[in-house]
A and B are shown apart, each in its own frame.
Chain A
Amino acid sequence: MPSRFRSPLLWITLAVLVIAATLPWYVSAYILGLLTVAYYFGVFAMSWDLLFGFAGEVNFGPTFLIGVGAYTAGILNSHYSVELYLCVAAGALAAVVAGFVLALPALRLRGPYFGLTTLVAVLILQSFVVVFADLTGGEIGLTIPDVLSINAGVNYWIALGFMAVSGAILFGLAQSPVGLILQASGQDPVQAGALGFNIIKHKLAAFIVSAFFSGLAGALMVFYMGTASVGTVVDLAVGVQVIVAAVLGGRRTVLGGALGAIFLIVAGEFLRPTGELATFIVSSVALLVILFFPNGFLGAVLSRGTRS
Chain B
Amino acid sequence: MLALQILIDGFAISALYALGATGFTLIFGVSGVLNLSHGAVMVTAAVAAWAAGSVLHLNPYADALVGLLAALIAAMATYFVSVQPIQHSRRIPGEEKEIFILTATLLWGIMLQELVAYFFTNNAKTVLPIVQGVVSILGVRTPRNEVFTAIVCWAVIGLLWLLVNRTKMGKTVLAASMNPRGVTLLGHELTHIYIVVWAIYGILAGIAGVLLGMFLGVSSYSAGPLTASAFAIVVLGGLGSVSGSLIAAYVVGYLETLTAYLISPAYRSIPALLLLVVVMYVRPQGLLGRR
Task: List, in ascending order, chain A residues with CB within 8 A of B91's CB.
Answer: 292-295
Report how many residues on chain B are interfacial, defined by Cβ distance under 8 Å: 40
* A284 near B103: Cβ-Cβ < 8 Å: no
A-B contact count (CB 8 A): 98
The B interface, classified by DSSP as helix, strand, loop or mixed, is helix
* B284 near A277: Cβ-Cβ < 8 Å: no
State A279–B100 Cα separation when bound (angstroms).
20
For window 69-123 of A, CB contacts with B under 8 Å fall at 105, 108-109, 111-113, 115-117, 119-120, 123
* A287 near B114: Cβ-Cβ < 8 Å: no
As a 0/1 sequence over residues 160 to 194 of chain A, the CB contacts with chain B under 8 angstroms (1 = contact) are 00000000000000000000000000000000000
Q: Which of B86, B103, B115, B281 neighbours the largest number of chain A CB atoms within 10 Å of its CB?
A: B103
Closest to A126 in B: B228
Q: A112-B34, A247-B103, A284-B111 known; A120 and B266 CB under 8 Å?
A: no
Q: A112-B239, A120-B276 known; A294 and B102 CB under 8 Å?
A: no
Chain B interface residues (CB < 8 Å from chain A): 34, 81-82, 85-86, 89, 91-92, 98-100, 102-104, 106-108, 110-111, 114-115, 117-118, 224, 228, 231-232, 235, 239, 266-267, 269-270, 273, 276-277, 280-281, 284-285
The A interface, classified by DSSP as helix, strand, loop or mixed, is helix
* A287 near B107: Cβ-Cβ < 8 Å: yes
* B280 near A105: Cβ-Cβ < 8 Å: yes
Closest to A235 in B: B224
Q: Which of B34, B100, B276, B284 contacts A290 (CB 8 A)?
A: B100
- Sorted nearest first, the 7 A-B pairs with minimum C-beta distance are A280-B114, A287-B107, A58-B99, A283-B110, A276-B118, A283-B111, A283-B107
27 pairs of residues in contact across A and B, judged by CB atoms under 8 Å: A58-B99, A105-B280, A112-B34, A113-B284, A116-B34, A119-B231, A124-B277, A127-B273, A236-B106, A237-B110, A240-B103, A240-B106, A240-B107, A244-B103, A247-B103, A276-B114, A280-B114, A283-B108, A283-B114, A287-B81, A287-B107, A290-B86, A290-B100, A290-B103, A290-B104, A293-B91, A294-B91
* B114 near A243: Cβ-Cβ < 8 Å: no
For window 132-146 of A, CB contacts with B under 8 Å fall at none
Least CB distance from A111 to B in Å reads: 7
* B82 near A287: Cβ-Cβ < 8 Å: yes
For window 230-256 of A, CB contacts with B under 8 Å fall at 235-237, 240, 243-244, 247
For window 269-308 of A, CB contacts with B under 8 Å fall at 276-277, 279-280, 283-284, 286-287, 290-295
Q: A112-B98, A131-B270 known; A287 and B235 CB under 8 Å?
A: no
* B114 near A294: Cβ-Cβ < 8 Å: no
Is A213 part of the contact surface with B, judged by Cβ < 8 Å? no
